Amino acid sequence: MNAIEKYNARADAADSLVCVGLDSDVRKLPAALLKLDAPQLAFNRQIIDATAEYAAAFKFNMAFYEVNGADGWRQLAQSIVYLRERHPSILTIADAKRADIGNTSGAYARAIFDELGFDAVTLNPYLGRDALQPFLDYADKACIILGRTSNPGSAEIQNLKVNDQPLWQIVARKAADRWNANGNCMLVASGTNPKEMAQIRSIVGEMTLLVPGVGAQGGDIKALAKAGLNSAGRGLIINSSRGIIFADDPAEAASSLRKAVNRFR
């Protein structure tokens, strides 16, 4: 079972397309946890225990662990072990946005897939296929290419015209075709613009899309589902980070998002 098949199986078993984003910023953690030796690990365990029932994936934003140096990396690794031991069927995503020249990308790929054991990673396509290839060569892992992102400044580059097409459409086509020889590509597609989501779906066919912009960024779930679901009623990994993990009741927040999405599946 490769990573995409793993996600689909979990989505069916949990009746969920929800991804819980573990953006565990140590500055926002409860004061009581900051007294512990591993506050991020303790926080992640609490969130995993509370929300796993409703989750098809967990996404770890690498920045919030790397900023704490070796100790942050240790807590990241321990969090993944905790999740994998208790919920091995749930997809794990490293939100790392990696890519570099070949030998450097090879080292990044080994770190994320072999050392940490993630199922999937987000990748920056700006350097082209040779920078992505070391990740793409892991046929059992998922490579989630940045296509159309949800940050306000994304249009500065992503909307640049290439042969009368915005650059993000070119990236989507390459991710669905040229880069997808192993059938292990996914695409990041913003949840804040349903019209563009529909265009992406028409370009990439049945491909699974990682969708930021839901929750704290205000994406419209009904419009998103109508535009983005594939023919199997899946094809979306709908991420919410701050909207779940820093909610008063993370379990209720995750459950509510699952219900909201499933209403339109």
Which residues are annotated as catalytic? 97
Closest CA to 141 of 117, 171, 165, 177: 117
Q: Residue 116 CA to chain centroid, in angstroms?
A: 16
The amino acid occupying position 120 is A
Closest CA to 223 of 241, 204, 205, 238: 238
Residue 206 near residue 230, CB atoms below 8 Å:
yes
Six token digits for residue 94? 């490293």
- Cα first-last separation, the chain: 25
Residue 163 sits at φ, ψ, to 5 deg, of 50, 45
